[in-house]
Structure 1
């Protein structure tokens, strides 16, 4: 079976992040200026700058000439999964960030989704309503000390898939069942799966100490470069 090369780059917010503003287009700079939270603003700037540099590295256009297009699958608004036209064809781009960590994936002609998450909870308990019945049974058998990491592993796999399909959180994560945290990543089932009915290929990625990540592509299996 043919595979697609999916370029992956990761970066961490740091003192030089503001220097990357010049790589963004006017609309992106305006969006960054509107973000009140300093970390969120830095993550956005770093994500878009890294995306431009990655596309330039892989397919040749100068970063300053790259214009990303985003059309929401649900409402057709100017947000959602990114893509950019290059001389080689359309490159699909996915950006994720968590706690100052940014991951960007890009693939030529194949839709992709990446997710990176810090191994931590935003509340007192894991939001287990995001898990399917099958996943919940596996999760409940995990010793308490390992449950945060187990939930984050589930979440990154699900989020990567939902980003690749363009559904995002308009689709309830519990309708999607992925393999258990200690098993090789794959989609097991999807209840009431929205169109298009395309095969989904899933892998875990090394997101650095204290983080977990996952990458998904539609139709075509991938090899990760980076």
Structure 2
């Protein structure tokens, strides 16, 4: 089958698990350029419309990797997948039979592309911790009163930005899981705790310089990270019962810092 270089863990995807596949758009560009036949006509047209090299490469690697990964879970040819945008832009599988087997979400920041896969609705967001944000203005628009107080209780702009991005990725993950985008008021989504009225939310650093969050149902028990360029063994496990943010080591199966 095309895309056979991507191998799933032998136990597959169990209920309560989230698998996150993290790809580097710079490192994987050449490989994905050879696989553009996996893409739909609409995806090819959109790919050709990017003026920025980074935007082009991110979309290319994201779409090719998405098709390869989901094709593996569904045991079908990547180019046979029909993927469309939902009401608020969330990509979904068109065929109901396939959608009943697997849920996914896509996010990217700088050169990192992440794809989350689960049996139940899942949301995933990743951001660069170097992203320039107007914390004051954005906090008024998207954070609750309690979250704004927590952000500005930190001393120094770096600590405030780190807190803001943690909350923001958590809100984005919830909105993306629910497929509603910013049609829902983000100030009404409280994300400070791991178990919330919005389900379970966990944050972690997938690699230095990035912060990510996953939103799942109350059944979420395990988050495993994979690299599509390095086989079926997890590059990291997010300890979902912890409350601090782990940094996931790429060379072993556990966090290398707290």
Classify the TM-score, shorter chain: 0.7 to 0.9
Q: 1:225 to 1:58 in 2, by over 3 A?
A: farther
In the alignment, which residue of structure 1 is the partner of 2:93? 83
Q: Tell me how large the CA RMSD over aligned residues is.
A: 2.4
Q: What are the residue-to-residue correspondences of 1:98-113 with 2, within 5 Å?
A: 98-108=109-119, 110-113=120-123
In the alignment, which residue of structure 1 is the partner of 2:194? 185
Does 1:55 pair with 2:70?
A: yes
Does structure 1 conserve the Cα–Cα contact (< 8 Å) formed by 2:86 and 2:179? no
Q: Output the TM-score relative to the length of structure 1.
A: 0.80
Does 1:13 pair with 2:12?
A: no
Does structure 2 conserve the Cα–Cα contact (< 8 Å) formed by 1:81 and 1:163? no
- Higher share of residues assigned strand: 1
In the alignment, which residue of structure 2 is the partner of 1:67? 82
Q: What are the residue-to-residue correspondences of 1:125-136 with 2, within 5 Å?
A: 125=135, 127-129=138-140, 130-136=142-148
Q: What are the residue-to-residue correspondences of 1:200-211 with 2, within 5 Å?
A: 200-211=199-210
Q: Tell me how many residue pairs correspond in the alignment.
A: 205
Does 1:29 pair with 2:44?
A: yes
How far 1:172 sits from its partner (Å)?
Answer: 2.5
Q: Output the TM-score relative to the length of structure 2.
A: 0.71
Does structure 2 conserve the Cα–Cα contact (< 8 Å) formed by 1:118 and 1:210? yes
In the alignment, which residue of structure 2 is the partner of 1:116? 126
In 1, the alpha carbon distance for the partners of 2:203 and 2:34 equals 31
Segments of structure 1 that go 5 or more residues without pairing to the other structure are 74-78, 190-198
Segments of structure 2 that go 5 or more residues without pairing to the other structure are 1-13, 226-258
Q: 1:35 to 1:172 in 2, by over 3 A?
A: farther
In the alignment, which residue of structure 2 is the partner of 1:150? 163
In 2, the alpha carbon distance for the partners of 1:88 and 1:153 equals 29
Summarize deviations over 1:14-72 as a string: whole Å, max 9, x none.
Answer: 14253342321111111111222221222112111111122123231121222223321
